[in-house]
Amino acid sequence: MAVSERGPRERMVFSAAQLIRRDGVAATGMREVAAHAGAPRGSLQHYFPGGKEQLVNEAVGWAGRYAGNRVARFLAALPEPTPGALFAEMVRQWTDEYAADGFAGGCPVAAATVDCARTAPSSRAAAAAAFAAWTEPVARALTDMGVPEERSGALATLMVSALEGALLIARAEQDVRALRAVTRELRPLLDAAAGQDAASTGQDAASTGQDAAPTRQDG
């Protein structure tokens, strides 16, 4: 749905996410959100009776769902989906943005976590739920690509954590060096995890075949 097709409430949630990812929670005011969204200022209280905290939490939730939904799009764009290629696509979204628009923006979920984890328990919980909404689709995708299910969740967390850390470094350095580094270093590890499952399946099949072989009887 294009921004212009959203209603005023949806536009304000989207705008809050965009401003938070650029300026952080503390510097994002309700008036700025309404102006960015092109919404009447008086509608803020109507749509968000819980005030700024409610708006921040909803913006964080939107960001988590957006990131999670993009996993399927990344996979669909790959001629041959692999865990390493999926991670490269997750990173490429940011390297493309930074090449086109500069390093002003980051992840709104991370920004809200840094700003609100101690002062607003509901925002901390919203951020935790947003990260879950992101990592769970990644974990499912890894499992579908052959990563053992018992490793998929941990590797999905590793992918998201590496990306978030690299984004912070990229913004500090005004350079995509860190993003390229995590892609280069994690790609073989992730692909090996998928290969490990295939190798394990082959070993199990061979072992089963040996166990089922008839025992030779002498005499």
Looking at residue 215, its pLDDT comes to 40
Q: What percent of the chain has pLDDT over 90?
A: 78
CB of 163 closer than 8 Å to CB of 90: yes
- The pLDDT of residue 194 is above 80: yes
Helices 83-101 and 177-212, packing angle to 10 deg: 170
Instruction: End-to-end CA distance of the chain: give it in Å, rounded.
Output: 78
Average pLDDT, the chain: 88
- The pLDDT of residue 15 is above 50: yes
Helix/strand/coil (H/E/C) assignment for every residue in 151-175: HHHHHHHHHHHHHHHHHHHHHHHCC
Looking at residue 47, its pLDDT comes to 94
Determine the 3-state secondary structure of 31 from DSSP. Answer: helix
Looking at residue 106, its pLDDT comes to 96
E runs forming strands in the chain? none
Tell me the HSE value of 159 on the side-chain side, using a 13 A CA sphere: 33
Tell me the pLDDT band of 213, cut-offs 50, 70 and 90. very low
Tens-digit pLDDT profile for residues 121-132: 999 999 999 999
Tell me the pLDDT band of 195, cut-offs 50, 70 and 90. confident
- The pLDDT of residue 208 is above 90: no
What pTM did the predictor assign? 0.84
User: Cβ of 170: how many Cβ atoms within 10 Å?
Assistant: 21
Mean pLDDT (whole number) for 66-82: 96
134's CB contacts (< 8 A; 6+ apart) are 64, 67, 68, 109, 160
CB of 130 closer than 8 Å to CB of 68: no
Tens-digit pLDDT profile for residues 40-65: 888 888 999 999 999 999 999 999 99
